């Protein structure tokens, strides 16, 4: 009997966060037939754009990407199906967007995310029925594992709950099967993501704890590194930190805790669930897990942020010496309480504060990486360097994929997906160089 070998040529673009990337991978892997990625949209039968709508610059990027694609497809005699999904659709609604962008053939709202494969197969008139799957797009070294949808918090600046809804944790058994399938493809690192990963299981009856999920995943064969992103400060308890310490590898002592600010006045105006001085969080981490690498993000120029508030944030960053840090200038988003607050900060002040904080972090990062020179450590190899034969990009344990710095590595056994021992021989502001 002849084996069915038909493939669906697809051009895709996933904007925004890793959670969007996972949605794209699930959608394209569940169409009931193998998907073949093509470099030019004119060679595709499906063009799929997964948008971001979290902040206004992301919305503008999403709209620009759609308009650019419409222009590229216009001269074609045989156009592919143009489908657009994601947070921008969830934020503004398919009906409103369809009126503004009639060239889009199919809009995929976030509240119908499980139906996306069926909606696409119907629009494409595919004979194959949707089958749950995932088309991995991150290469052989790592994959994102989305452990929940939505958010239980109501931060005054954030649009996510209105776009994605309340917290809906994915059951541990389903995540275990998905993780096992990813590892079977050769993936070495799993990166757990959600809007608030520390809240996983709190919506179950009876409630569960993130530790229960980690206990389910850690014994899986082939797992070299397990990394946690987006842990809210309220979830960083002594009990949780003791669990991390006692679990050991493959669970990495890498904590991504988006603090957003350091001054209690600003945190209170933000409506953060942890609206007091966050120094206590760092003290707790370093008491129970002193080897931990800490990553965080801050918002500068939030309504009502004074120079004194910002100076306190700078002092906090100097004292904390985060391994990794991201800084964002506040963006007022329609429909959020923060957008209607008095004392909005001028854009030029926001940008000055952002640049000042990033300059401060650059000095800290360079100092921390200088201390790594001469150390021998594991490097997870991601991909060949696009310009230098024999050189690869990879990461050491305190570098998360796509958001942190890189380690450039070369030597015997260095290939995508390999975990190699290497000597750190050089550092830059955010990156390392290593020889295996």
Q: How far apart are CA 108 and CA 352, in angstroms?
A: 38
* 347-368 burial code (b ≥16 CB/10 A, e <16): eeebeebbebbeebbeebbeeb
Instruction: Encode pLDDT of 231-281 as tens digits.
Output: 998 889 999 999 999 999 999 999 999 999 999 999 999 998 665 678 999
Which two structure tokens, joined as six digits, stand for 314?
């700078």
Count of CB atoms situated within 10 Å of the CB of 370: 13
Looking at the structure, give the CATH architecture of the domain made up of residues 8-124. 3-Layer(aba) Sandwich (3.40)
Assess whether the region 8-124 and the region 376-435 belong to the same CATH fold: no
Listed in order, strand segments (DSSP E) in 306-436 are 324-329, 376-384, 392-395, 407-410, 419-427, 432-435
HEC string of 258-274 equals: CCECCCHHHHHHHCCCC
Report pTM. 0.93
> Which superfamily does 142-369 belong to?
tm_1862 like domain (3.80.30.20)
Which two structure tokens, joined as six digits, stand for 364?
């800290």
pLDDT at residue number 211: 96
- Contact present, 186 and 221 (Cβ < 8 Å): no
State whether residue 198 is helix, strand or coil. helix
pLDDT at residue number 434: 97
Domain positions in the chain are: 8-124, 142-369, 376-435
- Contact present, 312 and 353 (Cβ < 8 Å): no
pLDDT at residue number 277: 76
> What residues does 295 pair with on adjacent strands?
256, 324
Classify domain 376-435 at the CATH topology level.
OB fold (Dihydrolipoamide Acetyltransferase, E2P) (2.40.50)
Where the chain has pLDDT below 70, the residues are: 1-5, 273-276
pLDDT at residue number 1: 35
pLDDT at residue number 275: 58
Residue entry with tokens 């021989």: 425
Which two structure tokens, joined as six digits, stand for 216?
């389910």
């Amino acid at each position: 009997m002849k084996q069915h070998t038909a493939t669906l040529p697809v051009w895709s673009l996933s904007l925004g966060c890793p959670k969007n990337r996972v949605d794209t991978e699930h959608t394209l892997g569940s169409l009931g037939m193998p998907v073949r990625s093509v470099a030019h949209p004119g060679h595709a039968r499906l063009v799929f754009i997964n948008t971001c709508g979290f902040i206004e610059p992301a919305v503008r990027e999403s709209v620009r990407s759609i308009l650019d694609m419409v222009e590229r497809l216009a001269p074609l005699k045989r156009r592919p199906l143009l489908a657009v999904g994601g947070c921008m659709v969830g934020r503004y609604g398919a009906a409103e967007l369809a009126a503004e962008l009639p060239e889009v053939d199919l809009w995929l709202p976030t509240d119908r995310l499980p139906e996306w494969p069926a909606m696409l197969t119907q629009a494409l008139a595919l004979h194959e029925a949707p089958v749950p799957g995932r088309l991995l797009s991150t290469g052989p070294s790592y994959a994102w594992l989305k452990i929940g949808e939505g958010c239980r918090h109501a931060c005054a600046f954030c649009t996510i709950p209105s776009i994605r809804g309340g917290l809906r944790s994915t059951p541990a058994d389903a995540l275990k099967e998905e993780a096992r399938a990813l590892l079977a493809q050769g993936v070495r690192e799993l990166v757990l993501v959600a809007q608030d990963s520390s809240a996983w299981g709190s919506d179950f009856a009876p409630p569960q704890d993130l530790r229960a999920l980690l206990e389910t995943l850690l014994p899986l064969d082939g797992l070299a590194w397990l990394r946690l992103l987006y842990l809210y400060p309220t979830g960083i308890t002594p009990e949780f930190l003791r669990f991390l310490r006692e679990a050991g590898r493959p669970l990495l002592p890498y904590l991504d805790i988006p603090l957003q600010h350091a001054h209690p006045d600003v945190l209170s105006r933000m409506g953060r669930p942890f609206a007091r001085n966050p120094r206590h969080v760092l003290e707790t981490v370093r008491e129970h897990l002193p080897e931990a690498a800490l990553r965080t993000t801050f918002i500068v120029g939030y309504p009502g942020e004074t120079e004194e508030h910002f100076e306190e944030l700078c002092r906090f960053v100097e004292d904390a010496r985060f391994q990794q840090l991201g800084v964002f200038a506040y963006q007022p988003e329609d429909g959020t309480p923060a957008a209607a607050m008095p004392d909005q900060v001028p854009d030029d002040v926001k940008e000055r504060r952002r640049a000042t904080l990033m300059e401060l972090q650059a000095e800290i990062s360079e100092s921390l990486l200088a201390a790594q020179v001469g150390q021998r450590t594991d490097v997870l190899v991601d991909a060949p360097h696009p310009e230098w034969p024999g050189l690869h990009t990879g990461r050491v344990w305190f570098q998360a994929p796509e958001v942190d710095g890189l380690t450039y590595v070369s030597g015997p056994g260095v290939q995508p997906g390999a975990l190699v021992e290497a000597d750190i021989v050089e550092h830059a502001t955010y990156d390392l160089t290593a020889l295996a």
